[in-house]
């Protein structure tokens, strides 16, 4: 039997918990906030891409996918809301890079954030440590974190893989902490999908990627979690983004709800990788955001 992931997972703290004692309980209750857009598909987890002030970015549905318009230089966050009664782990990748380790995304190997029942978590950057993140900022593809790590073909996509927790038997105790095993196949291409277009072709049509922004205080703690199914997410969410002008050129009606078939999304949120690392390393070269 294939081993299950165990304790090396992260739980984001709410404002109250950061300021006070680390008491158990939900992070925050899901709530309806003006300006928050919700996908038109019924599911346990809802994902919104928001500006730094908490307003949902302009969004559109297109061929069953969600598209978001960003602006170069703006900081953004990813809000994941759990509308169900199960405790969940969410593994998040931005531009094909895991937001905790910075490695090429592989939800079978990567750990994630824990979201309590009817709670939510706001992910505000590439994790640098248990206390800090490097903010998500929209920038040109060439300046994006994924391009500076050698995978520009995956710029423009945010992925959330959702895992339910394995039922805890009576008297269950947290397992000893250990890293989740890598399940990447030998010889797997660290660059990811075979159906993705070439790096140059994708960069020529994609205007935005996500930069490794300024450091922000964003404390988390590690908590135990065992997936019900280690390799198969219960839900996958993909959100594609670019500038509003670029999306319109591809046929995405970012200013209205309309579907057509003129654009086929190609970047992959979780291209498998074999590299190791606990948290996200800076990209090569100087950092523009400090």
Q: What percent of the chain has pLDDT over 70?
A: 66
Quick check: is 67 in a domain?
yes
DSSP for 261-284, written as a single string? SS------S--------SSPPPPS
70 versus 30: which is more confidently predicted?
70
What the block records as the tokens of 152 is 């520009």
At residue 39, the pLDDT reads: 44
Quick check: is 191 in a domain?
yes
258 versus 74: which is more confidently predicted?
74
88 versus 17: which is more confidently predicted?
88
> What is the residue-averaged pLDDT of the chain?
76
Quick check: is 255 in a domain?
no
At residue 289, the pLDDT reads: 77
Number of domains in the chain: 1
Q: Which residues, in sequence order, are CB contacts of 54 under 8 Å at separation 6+?
A: 33, 35, 77
Quick check: is 198 in a domain?
yes
Q: Tell me the pLDDT band of 43, cut-offs 50, 70 and 90.
A: low
At residue 239, the pLDDT reads: 95
Paired residues of 210 in beta bridges: 138
Quick check: is 266 in a domain?
no
At residue 179, the pLDDT reads: 34
Quick check: is 279 in a domain?
no
| pLDDT, tens only, 168-218 | 765 554 443 333 333 332 233 344 444 445 566 665 689 999 999 999 999
Q: Residue 136 sits in which domain range?
A: 9-249
Widest distance between CA atoms in the chain? 58
Quick check: is 276 in a domain?
no
| CA-closest candidate to residue 16, choices 6, 25, 7 | 25
Quick check: is 1 in a domain?
no
At residue 24, the pLDDT reads: 32
At residue 201, the pLDDT reads: 62
128 contacts 139 by C-beta, under 8 angstroms: no
248 contacts 57 by C-beta, under 8 angstroms: no
At residue 36, the pLDDT reads: 47
């Amino acid at each position: 039997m294939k081993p299950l992931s165990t304790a090396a997972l992260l739980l984001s703290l709410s404002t109250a918990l950061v300021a006070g004692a680390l008491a158990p309980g939900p992070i925050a209750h899901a709530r309806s906030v003006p300006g928050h857009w919700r996908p038109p598909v019924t599911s346990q987890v809802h994902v919104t891409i928001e500006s730094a002030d908490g307003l949902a970015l302009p969004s559109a549905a297109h061929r069953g996918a969600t598209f978001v318009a960003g602006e170069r230089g703006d900081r953004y966050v990813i809000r994941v809301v759990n509308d169900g009664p199960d405790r969940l782990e969410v593994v998040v990748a931005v531009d094909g890079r895991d937001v905790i380790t910075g490695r090429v995304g592989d939800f079978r190997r990567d750990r994630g954030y824990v979201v309590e029942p009817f709670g939510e978590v706001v992910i505000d950057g590439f994790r640098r440590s248990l206390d800090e993140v490097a903010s998500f900022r929209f920038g040109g593809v060439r300046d994006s974190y994924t391009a500076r790590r050698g995978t520009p073909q995956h710029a423009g996509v945010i992925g959330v893989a959702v895992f339910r927790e394995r039922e805890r038997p009576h008297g269950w105790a947290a397992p000893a902490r250990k890293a989740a095993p890598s399940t990447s196949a030998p010889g797997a291409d660290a660059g990811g999908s075979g159906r993705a277009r070439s790096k140059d072709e994708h960069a020529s049509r994609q205007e935005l990627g996500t930069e490794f922004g300024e450091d922000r205080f964003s404390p988390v703690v590690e908590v135990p979690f065992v997936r019900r199914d280690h390799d198969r997410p219960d839900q996958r969410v993909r959100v594609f983004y670019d500038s509003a002008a670029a999306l319109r050129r591809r046929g995405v009606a970012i200013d209205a709800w309309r579907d057509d078939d003129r654009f086929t999304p190609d970047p992959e949120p979780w291209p498998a990788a074999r590299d190791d690392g606990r948290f996200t390393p800076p990209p090569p070269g100087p950092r523009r955001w400090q």
